[in-house]
């Protein structure tokens, strides 16, 4: 049995994701936000889908959405204030 992470989703039941996939996508999300600065979720999904297209058996954009929501609920990333395109950034304390 493989190790999983139970995601935190607002108002819904979380979803179990394989820890290896969760960690890989999380690292890519954080690397993109550090390099590019605030970015839209669509742009993040595009970049990650392009990198992981051949490696995943599932839909990469769904995993990215799920993990972005989880990271937002865990207060690792946040929506950029006053942004029409709902850009995300790494939350600074």
Domain residue spans of the chain:
4-90
- pLDDT above 90 as % of the chain: 59
What pLDDT does residue 35 have?
96
What pLDDT does residue 42 have?
92
Tens of pLDDT, residue by residue over 38-76, are 999 999 999 999 889 888 777 899 999 999 999 999 999
Q: For the whole model, what pTM was predicted?
A: 0.88
* pLDDT at position 93 over 60: no
The Cα–Cα gap between 28 and 4 comes to 18
Q: Work out whether strand 77-79 and strand 16-18 pair parallel, antiparallel, or are unpaired.
A: unpaired
Range list of β-strands (E), 1-93: 4-6, 16-18, 77-79, 88-90
Q: Which of 8, 6, 22 is nearest to 69 (CA)?
A: 8
* pLDDT at position 1 over 70: no
- Written out in words, the top-level CATH class of the domain with range 4-90 is mainly alpha
Question: Binning pLDDT at 50, 70 and 90, where does residue 14 land?
Answer: confident
User: Which two structure tokens, joined as six digits, stand for 6?
Assistant: 């139970």
What pLDDT does residue 82 have?
74
């Amino acid at each position: 049995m493989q190790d999983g992470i139970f995601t935190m989703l607002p108002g819904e039941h979380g979803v179990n994701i394989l820890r290896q996939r969760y960690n890989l996508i999380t690292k890519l999300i954080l690397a993109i936000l550090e390099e590019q600065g605030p970015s839209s979720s669509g742009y993040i999904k595009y970049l990650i889908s392009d990198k992981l297209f051949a490696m995943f058996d599932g839909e990469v954009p769904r995993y990215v959405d799920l993990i972005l929501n989880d990271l937002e609920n865990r207060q690792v990333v946040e929506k950029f204030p006053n942004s029409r395109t709902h850009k995300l950034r790494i939350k600074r304390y």
